[in-house]
Structure 1
Amino acid sequence: MPDTLNLPDRATIKTQAKRLRQSLVAEGNFVSHSEALELISKQYGFRDWNTMSAALDKPARTRLQVGHRVTGRYLGHAFTGTLLGLQNLAGGRRQVALHLDEPIDVVKSSWFSSFRQRVTGTLEKTGETYARTSDGQPVLALDC
């Protein structure tokens, strides 16, 4: 199954198809624009352009890219921040690195504090970490 969370937008895909077509024509291999779209679709793991086009029509909120603004919860605290790193892992999981707009106090004690502004986590397909806090909440969850 193709990874629809990291697909570029439709304009980028069409630009890639245009460049592919130009490169192939320059080498003497004529392909139409629609054939180039089919080839690009297969490169991204889709059966054909229609299937990929349908995936591109899904709401953009499900697609994560480095530099995107994100919201979510870390150790039960709501946050907004920037996605600094994104690595696809096996099974549809992804490793993320975030820079939070405001540091979060990760200690519940009133005696001392420990603030974090950069956090990492491995997200499942649900957008939450498998790891949980003692009260059963995900350590990190993105609203995506």
Structure 2
Amino acid sequence: MSAALPTRSEAKAAARRLRAGLVERGIRIGHAEALERVARAHGFRDWNAFHSAIDDRPPATWTRGGRVSGTYLAQPFTARVVDAEALRPGWVRMVLDLDAPVDVVSFDGFSNLRRRIRGLVGPGGYSRERTSAGIAHLRIEFGAPD
């Protein structure tokens, strides 16, 4: 098995890339077969075994000292992870030190800049808390920031 396993999202993206690459060579396989091939490439007997090993595991960048990017109250940010605590499968409480402050007030006559934020994000990278418009307060992107 590989030492560095991908996240579930990364594994599914690899399966999509595999299918697209095979189609270019005139070979057609289903998505399930592509998932099985990705699992075997990582040393697992099948997708189910692979999936259980990576299920809801946060990306490596979501750990203390990692670099992340995303949005906070719909404003983009990049940050260093000051602290990260796994609470249950897929859910991580994070403290982020932002590279540049974000204004958490949308009113033009007033502003409130934040340099550090705390939040709980789930397997999809989204917090449960939502704005009145239904947008997640905190969204962490998968992968390292640009």
Q: So what's the TM-score if we normalise by structure 1?
A: 0.58
Paired letter, 1:10: A
Q: Greater share of helix residues, 1 or 2?
A: 1
- The yes-or-no answer on 1:62 pairing with 2:55 is no
Identity percentage of aligned residues? 31
Aligned residues: 94
Written as runs of structure 1 = structure 2, the 5 A alignment for 1:101-120 is 101-120=99-118
Equivalents in 2 of 1:90, 1:134: separation in Å? 27
Paired letter, 2:71: R
Larger Cα-atom Rg: 1
64, 81, 103: which one aligns with 1:83? 81
- The yes-or-no answer on 1:95 pairing with 2:88 is no
The more displaced of 129-138 and 63-72 is: 63-72
Equivalents in 1 of 2:89, 2:66: separation in Å? 23
Equivalents in 1 of 2:134, 2:92: separation in Å? 21
Written as runs of structure 1 = structure 2, the 5 A alignment for 1:38-57 is 50-51=43-44
Equivalents in 2 of 1:105, 1:142: separation in Å? 17
Paired letter, 2:85: Q
Q: So what's the TM-score if we normalise by structure 2?
A: 0.57
Equivalents in 2 of 1:128, 1:114: separation in Å? 23
Equivalents in 2 of 1:91, 1:101: separation in Å? 28
What residue ranges of structure 1 are gaps of 5+ in the alignment? 1-8, 12-49
Equivalents in 2 of 1:67, 1:91: separation in Å? 21
Match for residue 127 of structure 2?
A: 129
Equivalents in 2 of 1:82, 1:115: separation in Å? 17
Paired letter, 1:125: P
Equivalents in 2 of 1:75, 1:82: separation in Å? 18
69, 72, 75: which one aligns with 2:70? 72
Match for residue 139 of structure 1?
A: 137
What is the aligned-residue RMSD (CA, Å)? 2.6
Equivalents in 2 of 1:62, 1:96: separation in Å? 13
**Stretches of 4+ moved more than 3 A in 1?**
54-57
Paired letter, 2:79: G
User: Offset at 1:90?
Assistant: 2.4
